Structure 1
Amino acid sequence: MGAYASDVGGPAPEDMRVFTELRDVELRTLMESQLGIYIAEGEKVIRRAADAGHVPHSFLLSPRWVESLSDVLDRFDVPCHVREEREIEALTGFHVHRGALAAFVRPEPTPLDKVLADAQRVVVVEDLVDHMNVGSIFRNAAALGFDGVVLSPRCADPFYRRSIKVAMGAVFSLPHARLDDWYAAPAQLRDAGFTTYAMTLAEPSTPLDAVVPAERSALIVGSEGPGLTDHWEREADVRVTIPMAAAIDSLNVAASVAIACWHFRPTAR
């Protein structure tokens, strides 16, 4: 195993700052940016991050996870701090799922052209700021056979702890890119050979069940509440809506994406 640091009951060493300062959102955001890390929570998520080739910075585990994750720990020469679960929660300031945390080095950003190169189906997300919704979209897209996710500059971080947890590690396996120029994105997708489908409540729009997916499809969704901007609705090739019962005018964005992804899934053609 790597540099095992059993410090139960002792003061938190310097290299535990990535865990002890999680409660301060601004500090955590700054630290994760400066150090280039993200936090994975829970055994399954930690395993999936390591199996995806991501390199850990350090581990913070309750005693019962040391043996269970020993095969992962043996692969890396990094600190593994061991604390009781109640101590981990006191240090981090939140309820830790079963007492297992790991800080991983963030992978280098993937360029848009690389995500789109071999993709047939992508979800494009505009200004979605809720981390749990972003995580859910990654999980839904991966489960239903999509090849990638494209994020606008203001979207929530898919490598934020809650996003990763909700996605069940899908952020590690599903390629994604964050755009620099959101305004030019419709033209970029069109040039890459994608037909764009904007999810909207506005008229005129085509009911989802009447849409025949193109060979290369980009499903575009907007933020919680305002939805897509006028620019994206105008620039999309097709405007799509999910038919709903009377008095119900909308669904949660992650639920909408799940339904649309099912319709656009590979076997639908």
Structure 2
Amino acid sequence: MKILFVGDIVGRPGRLALSSILGRLVDIHAVDFVVANGENAAAGFGLTVDIARDLYDFGVDVLTSGNHIWDKREAYDYLDRQERLLRPANYPPGAPGRGSGIYATSAGLKVGVINLEGRVFMSSLDCPFRAADQLVEELREHTSVILVDFHAEATSEKVALGCYLDGRVSMVAGTHTHVQTADERILPGGTAFITDAGMTGSRDAVIGIRKDLAVQKFLTQMPVRFEVAKKDPVLCGLLVEIDEGSGKATGVLRIAEALEKSR
């Protein structure tokens, strides 16, 4: 089985890159299932119902998210209604939506997906490690193929979770920092790992935001209204090949596909 995990989709340029490139990647690599982080898809902050529907139409099977999923209030009810949209599982009880699910490929193979959020330099949430323990145990009753999106700031926390879940899940992919790392590998227990899958959006930017606005913020330390940059869209992510019987990864490929190359 081949899984494509797409890094944080940022605004219209990210959606353009996804719509233009995803189908070709799926065909070339014979991808069976696509997971994408969509928490920045609406003008860089949050997700709307209409944009979520567009992302599904582009070929995404499951959308994960993170701390910015709460930026658009219309997403709250949608999280409760749409099983293919996840928010981090380690939010306290009472938060809208769900943090994991079991889905099926077009061939009927079951895939478990878990969304978690880190705590280092982020909100004081429930422990993602202990939340993962419970969810992995539950999902493994139904499938050996389990994918984890860990939306976290600190590289140390991401690597630690990868080591902690090694051999128990098929993939741990970090998101949130928007800069793709070059440490993709299969860990000793058979789990595919990357510290950050990268961003699907403008590369002529500071993590997807207009360069001039980001620089102004750093120079002045004054409030700046950020806007999504538009030039040089790229799709970043991770392609993982998995033995569906054991759930162990057998191959991993880092993806960074510029929009111009897809034409």
Q: Same fold (TM over 0.5)?
A: no
TM-score norm. by structure 2 comes to 0.24
Larger radius of gyration: 1
- Greater strand proportion: 2
TM-score norm. by structure 1 comes to 0.24
